[in-house]
Structure 1
Amino acid sequence: MMDILGGGESAAPAGDLIKDVTEATFMQDVVDASMKAPVIVDFWAPWCGPCKTLVPMLEAAVTKAKGAVTLAKINVDENQQLAAALAQQGLPLQSIPTVVGFYEGRPVDLFQGAQPASEVDAFIARLIETAGGSADGGLSDALEAAEQMLAEGAADDAAQTFAAIIGEDDTCAAAYAGLARAHIALGDVEQAEAVLNGAPAAISDAAELEAVRAQIELARQAENAGPVAELRAQVEADPANLQTRFDLAQALHAADEAEAAVEELLELFRRDREWNDGAAKAQLFTIFDALKPNDPVVLNGRRKLSSLIFA
């Protein structure tokens, strides 16, 4: 989810590490860039006193990290539409400064208000640790092996390996997520949910676990999904029937046609973004969260959704 740490080498040019970002460059400088290394996004405004104190600390800490992280500064006064869209997607931007750490296309940590330099350094250290993985040494190798087992269909073996890793490190979010995904692959959604519920509170909000929660929600939907061919025929006969289009999207995803499901949901959102309390956008986010952040379905889907939001 890579050459992350870049550390030990000479520092990258300041222009590469610290950028002023706008709505036009957000996807490139934040979402896409965070696929390679964490990006710290500082939401600020010229009239904000605490922002003026925080920015130099962020710049100094990012420069000191020598490429392990980058800093994107967003003036919310000059980018109100972008800030509104991000707030609509769940970022708490009601007050500034708000500093959000993005990794692999999604927010993974944040803080608000002015902070001492020590807290800024700790925030950056957590982001770098996230990028480097939570396990070390042999546990990292075991995680890789378990993921390979799961990819090859050996879900039982993978589950045993993930469980053994948890026995060695009960704060390893990747292992809890892997164990839950193994149970999903075995058709035991209830046990997958139990694994997540048993994770320590300290890691309960980890990105890996949030992704599995989305997968569990989609797995439950799949249990009640209707026949694709029948639903597609109904949509073609009555394109304005948004409930049927939503049902078709669920059925397509259950049939492992994620890209087609996303297209149907985007069309539903284009027709009526507020339908059923914004169900189309919520379902899109569930699908995005369940996939890897750099999956083409996610990248293309998020771009198309952003275009519709900004239209």
Structure 2
Amino acid sequence: MVGVTNKASVTTAQEAVIEVNEATFERDVLQRSQTTPVVIDFWAPWCGPCRVLGPTLERLAHEAGGSWVLAKINVDENPRLAQMFRVQGIPAVKAVYQGKIVDEFTGALPESQVRAWLKRVVPDPNADLLAMAQALEATNPAEAIARYRLILGQDPKNETALFNLGRLLALRGDPEGIVTLKQVPASSSFSSRATAGLAIANLVNAPAEPAEGSEGLYRQAAAAVRAGDYATAIEQLLTIVGRDRALRDDGARKALLALFALLGDDHPLVGPARRRLANLLF
């Protein structure tokens, strides 16, 4: 992924797709690429695959809101530009940043592959905000939630922000969290975790009033999760698994699995807790 300055944001929606020729190439591609990635689409009117890929690129360029610009070059009208870029077949797509080709592909790729390619060559304008939100999760989850909302306001399709927002809200016992987790697309890399995490609702919605025995421990675990004290919650749930699997239809084990899914395998508590749970079960 290439770096980019905030000057990219000045590109207007009308400039998302531009026609480029030999006379405008210096200004519209080389100079513009100093601050904004430019994706060149070498095409021709008679090219069938070009007519398939072109509309996809144009739609994605408008969708990107100025984070990159699509420059369309008709190879029949601009053969010297095609020769300069060593175009052997069309459609030929090349990403240019600061005057250099950073990546390219040839042929009419499906939209999913084009999107994946763009993620490699075009910087995510929300990357810094996303990193800040993730860093705040442990110390100030309310602020992290606010920042995830801000990201989604700018980029509603940001799956990382969507999952993390749903995850934090669900762990706090906010019903919006479950609704948000259900919005994670099935095609997302977060889909399995979001689905597995839905069961956390049974835990965090447990009554706050004290109770005796295993039910009391379960309610204490629920309060601990809502407060962000996951270590205490895990200890109490493991204790219940070890002595009372019948409670809430094996509810403690189900709650642990949901908690593991939402925290993620890279969380320092999850690995050891998974091993302890396995020892209790097997």
Shorter-chain-normalised TM-score: which range?
Answer: 0.3 to 0.5
Structure number with bigger Rg: 2
TM-score by length of 2: 0.45
TM-score by length of 1: 0.41
